[in-house]
């Protein structure tokens, strides 16, 4: 099979696995990056969200063949020391319950705040609503997005 070149968290990866393999499974089972989570496999819950060239994408439906040359960032690469403002805000407000969806939530929040560090409540809701948190931590997520934005200003 043809070789595919990927750039993940600043590192180069070469692989010859099935090019249709979704990025999610490449990350979890080939690249040793299990922080990105499988939730639904059909881009409905957002648990698998990573950045492609800075924009959030659903890695569960993104074949690796379409990612040649793209810069992929996962939760493991969001910050060097776990101190991205979003991670700090999530910790300070103690957002997680089970925590399973939070990597995806944080990746979307980080992408939003990079574009707009002072989002309105409506903007936060519009951006975060595609994400499901089955535990119902939405109240704290909303607050944490705001707080992270404040930390960036």
Partner 1 sequence: MNNTHSRRDFLKSASALSGGLVIGFSWLGNKAFAAEVVDTAAIPHEFNAYLAISPDNTITIYSPNPEIGQGIKTAFPVIVAEELDVDFNKVNVVQANLSDKFDRQLTGGSGAIRHSWDRLRNAGATARELMKAAAAKKWNVAASTLTTKDGKVIGANGQSISYGELVEDAKKLTAPTDVKLRDQKDYKLIGGWHKGVDNANLLVGKPLYGIDYQKEGMFNAQIQRPPAFGLKLKSFDATEALKMPGIVEVVSFDNKVAIVGKTTWEIMQARKKVAIEWKKDEDLESTEDHDRIFKSHLDDPNSGDTMRSDGDVKKAFADAAKVIEADYQCPFLPHSPMEPMNFFAHVKADGTVEMAGPTQTPGRARSSVSKLLDIPEDKISIELTKMGGGFGRRLDDGYAIEAAHLSSIVKKPVKVTWTKEDDITGGYYRPAVRYRFKAALDKDGNMTAYHLKGVGLNTGNCTRQDNFPAGAVENVLVESVNYKSPITTGPWRAPITNFLAYAEQSFLDEVAQAAGKDPVAFRLSLFNKAITNPVGKITYEPDRFIAAIKMAAEKSNWGKKKGVSQGFSVYFSHNSYVAQVAEMKKIKGTPTLTKVYAVTDCGIVINQSGAQNQIYGAITDGLGHAMYGKLTFKAGEPEQKNYDSYRLIRMNEVPEVEAYFVDNGKSPTGLGEPALPPTGGAIANAIAAATGKRLYSQPFNLEDSKVESYL
C-beta neighbour count of 34 within 10 angstroms = 14
Question: Looking at the DSSP assignment, which residues form a beta bridge with residue 38?
Answer: none
Among 103, 109, 110, 147, binds partner 1 (CB under 8 A): 103
- For position 138 contacting partner 1 by CB under 8 A, the verdict is yes
- Rounded Cα distance between 152 and 115, Å, is 11
How near is the Cβ of 118 to partner 1 at its closest, in Å?
18
57 binds partner 1 per the rule CB under 8 A: no
Candidates 73, 90, 110, 111; binder of partner 1 (CB under 8 A) is: 90
Here the tokens at position 147 are 């707080």
Count other Cβ atoms within 10 Å, centred on residue 76.
Answer: 18
Counted residue by residue, the chain has a size of: 153
Out of 11, 54, 94, 114, name the contact with partner 1 by CB under 8 A: 94
Binding stretches for partner 1 (CB under 8 A):
17-18, 20-22, 25, 28-30, 33-42, 44-45, 47, 74-76, 78-79, 82, 87, 90-92, 94, 96-103, 106, 124-126, 128-142
């Amino acid at each position: 099979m043809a070789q595919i070149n990927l750039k993940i968290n600043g590192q180069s990866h070469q692989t010859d696995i099935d090019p249709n393999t979704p990025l999610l499974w490449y990350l979890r089972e080939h690249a040793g990056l299990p922080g990105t989570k499988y939730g639904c496999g059909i881009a409905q819950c957002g648990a698998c969200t990573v950045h492609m060239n800075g924009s959030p994408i659903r890695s569960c439906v993104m074949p690796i063949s379409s990612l040649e040359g793209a810069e992929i960032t996962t939760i493991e690469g969001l910050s060097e020391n776990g101190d991205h403002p979003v991670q700090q805000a999530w910790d300070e407000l103690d957002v997680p319950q089970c925590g399973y969806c939070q990597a995806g939530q944080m990746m979307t929040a980080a992408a939003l705040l990079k574009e707009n560090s002072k989002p309105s409540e409506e903007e936060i809701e519009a951006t975060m609503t595609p994400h499901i948190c089955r535990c119902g931590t939405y109240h704290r997520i909303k607050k944490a997005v705001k707080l992270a934005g404040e930390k960036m200003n």
